[in-house]
Amino acid sequence: MVENFGPYYEDLKAGEVLKSKIGRTLTEFDNIWFTLLTNNSNQIHFNIDYTKKYYQDENFKGRLVINGLLTLSVAIGQTVGEISSRGFMLSIENVKFIKPVFPGDTIYSETQIVEKRESKSMPRFGIVKVHTKAINQDGVVVLELDRTIMVPKREYDS
């Protein structure tokens, strides 16, 4: 028997907006660990001397920048409980990194259910398209993306 957590296909309504229940403050440690774990050699993520020399403009102010893929991962992870904890992701599209994220920024996510339909190839599932925004502590949208997920139907849970 599947544990009782997360929505079924029938629970998700087109047009509905779901907000993450918790935020996630990204730290310098998170950023450096993730960047090195993924073998990303862009020094903007882990070399403060480099950023102070080459990124002094108003947007960056010489600060390290949180790895965009870490921000993306956190934004998606924050939505799992409300959308896809029973299902699985099929695609990610239209990822836009709108504003840089810095150590100490807190990310919250909100996701709109764009559309949904029953799966033809896997009848026990429905296909749900969503649009997610990652928003920082100041209310600024820093990231947007679209995803398609498979979510099981209630009638097939035993």
Residue 136 has pLDDT above 60, yes or no: yes
Q: Is residue 6 part of a domain?
A: no
Helices marked H in the chain: 28-37, 48-54, 68-83
Mean pLDDT of 41-46: 93
Are the beta carbons of 156 and 121 closer than 8 angstroms? no
Lowest mean pLDDT among 2-6, 36-40, 89-93: 2-6
Q: Is residue 96 part of a domain?
A: yes
* pLDDT-derived band at 3, boundaries 50, 70, 90: low
Cα dihedral across residues 65, 69, 75, 81: positive or negative? negative
Residue 1 has pLDDT above 90, yes or no: no
User: What angle (nearest 5°) sits at the alpha carbon of residue 81, between those of residues 113 and 94?
Assistant: 45
User: Please, which residues have CB within 8 angstroms of residue 44's CB and are 6 or more apart in sequence?
Assistant: 50, 51, 55, 64, 65
Q: Is residue 114 part of a domain?
A: yes
Q: Is 147 exposed, middle or buried (0-12, 13-18, 19+ CB in 10 A)?
A: buried
Q: Is residue 9 part of a domain?
A: no
Q: Is residue 2 part of a domain?
A: no
Residue 4 has pLDDT above 70, yes or no: no
Are the beta carbons of 149 and 88 closer than 8 angstroms? yes
pTM for the full predicted model: 0.91
Q: Is residue 21 part of a domain?
A: yes
Number of domains observed in the structure of the chain: 1
Question: Range of 45's domain?
Answer: 14-156
- The whole-number pLDDT of residue 5 equals 77
The enclosing domain of 133 has a CATH number of: 3.10.129.10
Q: Is residue 58 part of a domain?
A: yes
Q: Is residue 44 part of a domain?
A: yes
Mean pLDDT of 68-79: 96
